[in-house]
Amino acid sequence: MDDDDRPRPRGDAASTLAREDLGPYSQDELAERIALLEAEIERVKAHRDKAGAHRAAADALFGKPSS
């Protein structure tokens, strides 16, 4: 089974954030939270793209393994 096929662990940060009550936050605090989350999304996308490029280079060099 590929890692991508596995369900996300219940205790991961995204699941924890999704369950958090946002009611107590002010609009300024929510805006700051959004900015932090958007920055984290960009960081994760950059890492994903870098990993994808690394994988593509390895596949090109060694050939794509059969499933």
Place of tokens 């999304």: 41
Average pLDDT for runs of 10 along the chain of length 67: 62 86 97 97 95 92 74
Among the listed residues 33, 13, 11, the one whose alpha carbon sits nearest the alpha carbon of residue 22: 33
Domains in the chain: boundaries: 26-62
pLDDT of residue 1: 45
CB 14 within 8 A of CB 8: yes
Q: Is the pTM of this model over 0.85?
A: no
- Rounded CA gap, 16 and 55, in Å? 30
3-state secondary structure of 27: helix
